[in-house]
């Protein structure tokens, strides 16, 4: 039997990178998958077609989770389409890097809204469904930067640290309803975004990682699979660093 057989999962920000791989691994493991995308419409539509090949129900939604009303509509639409929701992976995120003295208020607000407020919006909406079901799983994507900070990323670090505090609180509030909430904190992961970097810069970063390599999207997706499945049924309120030893 597959690890997520018969479960319905939502993955936000899944048109590329880490989110795309999580959606793929979940579908491979028997989950019905709802996922969101925003700007990458063609990639989102292509992913929907691709994942249906695994034989489960897959539907992509164009939705901006940083907007409270859109998040509520998203959850309502998923419940109408799939009947319920068992697993939520809050993965949507952006960066607008810059040193504090040059960072604009807009850059701060945009990153906090997409990275942190979206987690509140989606979690609040989905938790109502899970409380009725008396079961559910939240997996929220933070970052090694949320644990140790990084120069030039004060907004990103604040948003990702906020996710950790938020998740720990939600785990305590919802635990009595058999709802678990955990965090994954990726380190340096190879994605489309890192492919455009200077290879020498990447080599320098990898040299400082104890495992001496960048992570893959599959490394993160496999950690997500563990936390989404019953293999982790007694784990909640925790932060799992998937970073090759960076933190």
What pLDDT score was predicted for residue 197?
80
- Domain presence at residue 192: yes
93 pLDDT more than 90: yes
First-last CA distance in the chain: 35
- Domain presence at residue 3: no
- Domain presence at residue 79: yes
193 pLDDT more than 80: no
pLDDT category at 219 given cuts 50, 70, 90 is: very high
Q: Which residue has the higher pLDDT, 202 or 91?
A: 91
40 pLDDT more than 80: no
194 pLDDT more than 90: no
Q: Which residues of 5-40 are buried (b: 16+ CB within 10 A; e: fewer)?
A: eebbbbbbbbbbbbbbbbbbbbbbbbbbbbbbbbeb
Q: Which residues of 123-159 are buried (b: 16+ CB within 10 A; e: fewer)?
A: bebbbebbeeeeebbbbbbbbbbbbeeeeebbbbbbb
191 within 8 A of 247, measured Cβ to Cβ: no
- Domain presence at residue 247: no
Please count the structural domains in the chain: 1
**Mean of the pLDDT values across residues 212-237?**
97
The CATH number assigned to the domain holding 219 equals 3.40.50.720
**Mean of the pLDDT values across residues 220-243?**
98
**Mean of the pLDDT values across residues 90-101?**
95
- Domain presence at residue 2: no
What pLDDT score was predicted for residue 111?
97
pLDDT category at 186 given cuts 50, 70, 90 is: very high
- Domain presence at residue 134: yes
Q: Which residue has the higher pLDDT, 106 or 194?
A: 106
**Mean of the pLDDT values across residues 163-168?**
98
- Domain presence at residue 1: no
pLDDT category at 228 given cuts 50, 70, 90 is: very high
Catalytic residues: 156
- Domain presence at residue 109: yes
Domain coverage including residue 87: 8-242
What pLDDT score was predicted for residue 199?
87
Q: How far apart are CA 87 and CA 58, in angstroms?
A: 14
CA pseudo-torsion sign 131, 134, 139, 142: positive
What pLDDT score was predicted for residue 192?
82
**Mean of the pLDDT values across residues 233-243?**
98
What pLDDT score was predicted for residue 201?
85
């Amino acid at each position: 039997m597959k690890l997520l057989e018969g479960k319905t999962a939502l993955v936000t920000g899944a048109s590329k990178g880490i989110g795309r791989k999580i959606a793929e691994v979940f579908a491979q493991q028997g989950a019905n998958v709802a996922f969101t995308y925003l700007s990458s419409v063609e990639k989102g539509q292509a992913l929907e077609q691709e994942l249906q090949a695994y034989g489960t129900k897959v539907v992509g939604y164009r939705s901006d989770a940083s907007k409270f009303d859109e998040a509520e509509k998203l959850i309502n639409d998923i419940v109408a389409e799939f009947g319920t929701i068992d697993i939520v992976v809050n993965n949507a995120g952006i960066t607008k890097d810059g040193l504090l003295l040059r960072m604009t208020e807009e850059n701060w607000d945009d990153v906090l809204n997409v990275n942190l407020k979206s987690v509140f919006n989606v979690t609040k909406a989905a938790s109502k469904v899970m409380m009725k079901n008396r079961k559910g799983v939240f997996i929220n994507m933070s970052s090694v930067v949320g644990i140790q900070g990084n120069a030039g990323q004060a907004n990103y670090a604040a948003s990702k640290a906020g996710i950790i505090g938020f998740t720990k609180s939600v785990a305590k509030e919802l635990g009595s309803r058999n709802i678990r909430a955990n965090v994954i904190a990726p380190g340096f992961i190879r994605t489309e975004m890192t492919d455009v970097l200077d290879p020498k810069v990447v080599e320098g970063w990898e040299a400082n990682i104890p495992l001496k390599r960048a992570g893959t999207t599959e490394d993160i997706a496999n950690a997500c699979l563990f936390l989404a499945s019953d293999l982790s049924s007694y784990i909640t309120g925790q932060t799992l660093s998937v970073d090759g030893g960076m933190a």
